Amino acid sequence: MGHPRRHVACRCDCTVVRSIMGGRGGRAICTPVPDPCPITPGNVSPCLGDPLPTEAAIIRVPDQPDLSHDQGSIRSKGARFMTIPSESVSGTGVLPMDRRASGVPGVKPAVSLLGLGVATPGLTRTQQDLGTALETAWGLDSTSAERWWRIVNGSGIESRSGVVMPERIMDLSTAQRMAEYVRLAPGLAREAAERAIGDAGVDRSRITDLIIVTCTGFSSPGVDVALAAELGLSPNVRRSQVGFMGCFGGILGLRTGAGMCALDPVGVTLVVCVELCSLHIRPSHDVENLVSAALFADGAAAVVLCGAAFEGDRGDASGLVRPGMTCLLPGTDAQMTWTITDEGFAMTLDRKVPRHLGENLDHFLDQLGPVDSVLSHPGGAGILDAIDEVIESRDLPCQSTASSASRSVLSKHGNMSSCTILFVLQQYLLNGGHVPAGLIAFGPGLTMDAVIIDPVDS
């Protein structure tokens, strides 16, 4: 027989307490939900100390929201205990999360997604038209032009939208670009927010929390203040911003919104991602600038979330948002960067990024848990190729619909940074995709971040 299990109270301010096996000295091992890996086999996550006991682990999630995003609402459920079999607890110190809590009577998910809305600016141009305009604006020589068109033609993009003609942005200072952001971002954010609120069927007077996600512009007062005023939200609405996290910011925004719903279970949280990538077209001819100029576009997306005690109609819920997980890949911090320069924000994107993501994705998905599909942020055609190669071997029942949604969004809209994954989710659902589905995005770090959308009745 194994040692008797003993639940140890944790004195630190954490959201998870793991049981300690008798004979381990009674030392508490605690970490926030979800565990922030690294998930490399054989490693021990620094926040966990010793590897977990191999017999079992018991978790208490006190009213912890399970993330779910998508059009519609979602049911809620409260605190739960989950017993995880010894074979599912790896020696890495990474504790898999039981998203479905199946077999636990009375367990209900805590966070519902009530609505989803997206928006793009009215200025839409074909990729070929943009390619010609930028070649002229840069004054590329024949060698640079050949390289430019090789990038454009291999991008997998047919059209993109922007708030301004990118040719006229090129010579602006960073301060001038930020002035354009202040002028134009709130309107696009409002369009997406209005659609999400309408989809949710919630009176905006009930919105208690507003979260803005962006990495393409800053000011204070910012989009949060402007949007709250334009939407007519209460002056008491709690405002937050997830800033400069890059393309996985949308995933982080969902998780942050779910945390707000856990703190105030009767409240309603509006999460709005807004990105004006076109403001950062720079005059440089370096490869990194050519690649980013060929990929990125403008857009906004919003979701409405509610907590466990929300009193309202959840009948059109699309799924339940679960916490998912994140992983920072060691030794890759220089492979994708987003920095502020005197000529706008500059991105570097190493050609090894798709390979590194592909090499780590399989183990990441093993830790994430079973899903019917994986919806990937379309960071570029090469990234999608690397992701699809890994996922195809899993034979997931709805993966063809998910992969089609990612490539369709890339083709029609380009890479809109943090809001893109919500465009993919909307397209997936419109195409008849089913949940449970994993939503995964990537960004500087290199970071892999994911949430789960589970069925309403899970």
| Residues annotated as catalytic (active site), given as ranges | 247
Residue pair 70/319 in contact by the 8 Å Cβ criterion: yes
The SS3 assignment for 442 reads strand
126 contact partners, CB below 8 Å, separation of at least 6 = 158, 159
Residue pair 163/180 in contact by the 8 Å Cβ criterion: yes
What is the number of residues in the chain? 458
The SS3 assignment for 231 reads helix
The SS3 assignment for 119 reads strand
What burial letters (b/e) apply to 225-256, b meaning 16+ CB within 10 Å? ebbbeebebeeebbbbbbebbbbbbbbbbbbb
* Placement of tokens 């018991």 in the chain: 58
Report, in this order, helix, strand and coil percent for the chain, each rounded to 5.
35, 25, 40
Question: Euclidean distance between the first and final Cα of the chain, in Å?
Answer: 34
The SS3 assignment for 142 reads helix
Residue pair 247/444 in contact by the 8 Å Cβ criterion: no
Phi, psi of 437 (to 5 degrees): -135, 145
Integer CA distances (angstroms), 405 to 10, 86, 118, in order: 43, 37, 15
Phi, psi of 168 (to 5 degrees): -85, -5
Residue pair 443/349 in contact by the 8 Å Cβ criterion: no
Residue pair 63/111 in contact by the 8 Å Cβ criterion: no
Closest CA to 385 of 419, 415, 363, 353: 353
